[in-house]
Chain A
Amino acid sequence: MNLIVNGERQFLEAGTLADLLVALEYEGDWLATAINGDLVHREDRADTRLAEGDRIEILSPMQGG
């Protein structure tokens, strides 16, 4: 399906958000995820089904002022 991951259009087969993280080789308990502007908690990723055109944000800690 077509997804927009961190602003980039990608064609991926992933049933759930957890599947997507595995497919893109994201790992670690320091990630935060959102779909279409709504936070998806870590514990809900395996139950969160993806749909065509979803906008997914995967954020990670970074230096900041």
Chain B
Amino acid sequence: MLKLYDIELSSRLLLGTARYPSPAILSEAVKRSSAGIVTVSLRRETSGGKTGGAFFELIRQLGVRILPNTAGCHSASEAVLTAKMAREVFGTNWIKLEVIGHHDSLQPDVFELVEAARILTDEGFEVFPYTTDDLIVGEKLLAAGCRVLMPWCAPIGSAAGPRNPSALIAMRAAFPEIPLIVDAGLGRPSHAATVMELGYDAVLLNTAVAGAGDPPAMAEAFAKAIDAGRLGYLSGMLEPRDMAVPSTPVIGKAVFS
């Protein structure tokens, strides 16, 4: 069973809550995904807090664990303050730490990320860092106190799928005991199955589900692909060969000429 910061979870899918066509579709997508964790955010609001209150109530009714993020932050200090405000609102020490370094690619600023992870861990947070597939950054995040790593596999919202599977394989090999969650860049259920077959522990999705023609159905499709990939990983997959190997036994074959 997946274990994140000592919490056991039956689902290996973490689902974002943004960009759905309606709150009802969001609710249905979360249910059909079987996700045990949803990500949420904090923003300025001008309606006296009423919009945020309605959204918070909807999430509470889903009965899932909440993972607040620091999306949109571009410095460690900004991310640390956002994390503290998220803890005040959501009442959890969990934080999905995003510190963005580049506007176009939304690539993490890994230097600020490590600094923020260190500060937040010291303040009692349990940090889920959105990072790259760089092994040294992974090591620094673990040294800063993180017990989960969440590498991207392609830019956020790109739906490109795993762009560098070799790097993901290397990361899996480098951190065999650390839960690794692919966060960002997946577009199709087969992408999720692929990273699960590589031994990743879970997948965090948002746009691939929310932007689909039928988000609840796509949520279920991803859930099935994640389970299939995980089962495949555990079942001893064959290595590809260049030449054919007959699947039907040749011993005892009739000879007609």
Residues of chain A having any CB pair with chain B under 8 Å = 6-7, 24-28, 30-34, 37-39, 41-42, 57-65
Some 23 contacts from A to B, beta carbons below 8 A apart, are A27-B48, A27-B49, A28-B50, A30-B49, A31-B49, A32-B89, A37-B81, A39-B81, A39-B84, A39-B85, A57-B44, A59-B45, A60-B44, A61-B41, A61-B53, A61-B55, A61-B59, A62-B43, A64-B39, A64-B68, A65-B16, A65-B18, A65-B207
Q: Please report whether the interface of chain B is mostly helix, strand, loop or mixed according to DSSP.
A: mixed
A7 to B43, CA, bound (A): 12
**What is the total of A-B residue contacts with beta carbons within 8 Å?**
108
B40 and A62 within 8 A (CB): yes
Give the CA-CA distance A60 to B45 in the complex, in Å. 6
Give the CA-CA distance A64 to B43 in the complex, in Å: 10
**Cβ of B50 to closest chain A Cβ, rounded Å:** 8
Question: Cβ of B88 and Cβ of A6 under 8 Å apart?
Answer: no
Q: A63-B55, A65-B71 are in contact. List 14 more A-B contacts (CB 8 A).
A: A26-B48, A30-B89, A32-B42, A39-B85, A41-B88, A42-B88, A57-B44, A59-B42, A60-B53, A60-B89, A61-B55, A61-B89, A65-B18, A65-B41
CB-defined contacts of B50 to chain A, threshold 8 Å: 28
- Assess A64 versus B69: contact at CB under 8 Å? Given A31-B89, A32-B42, A58-B44: yes
Q: Which of B18, B48, B86, B90 is within 8 Å of A63, CB to CB? A: B18
Q: Which residues of B contact A7 (CB under 8 A)?
A: 44
Asked whether B81 lies within 8 Å of A61 as measured between CB atoms, the reply is no
Closest Cβ of chain B to A42, distance in Å, is 7
Contact present for A30 and B44 (CB under 8 Å): no
Across the interface, which residues of B come within 8 angstroms of A6, CB to CB? Answer: 44-46
Q: Quick check: B81 and A34 within 8 Å, CB to CB? A: yes
Measured CB to CB, the closest approach of chain B to A5, in angstroms, equals 9
Chain B, Cβ-Cβ closest to A59: B42
In the complex formed, the residue of A with least CB distance to B78 is A37
Contact with A along B194-235 (1 / 0, CB 8 A): 000000000000110000000000000000000000000000
Q: Tell me the nearest residue of chain A to B204, going by C-beta.
A: A65
- How many whole Å from A7's CB to the nearest CB in chain B? 7
- The reply to whether B52 and A61 form a contact with Cβ atoms under 8 Å apart is yes
Bound-state Cα–Cα, A56 to B154, Å: 36
CB neighbours (8 Å) of B86 from chain A are: 32
- Residues of B within 8 Å of A58, CB to CB, are 44-45, 49
List residues of chain A with CB within 8 A of the CB of B20. 63
Q: Are A60 and B49 in touch, CB under 8 angstroms?
A: yes
Most chain B CB inside 10 Å of its own CB: which residue of A6, A31, A60: A60
User: Which residues of chain A are within 8 angstroms of B40 by Cβ–Cβ distance?
Assistant: 61-64
Q: Of A25, A26, A27, A59, which is within 8 A of B85 by CB?
A: A59
Contact with A along B45-72 (1 / 0, CB 8 A): 1101111110110010000000011010
- The answer to whether the Cβ of B178 comes within 8 Å of any Cβ in the partner chain is no
Query: When chains A and B are docked, how far (Å) is the Cα of A37 from the Cα of B19?
Result: 29
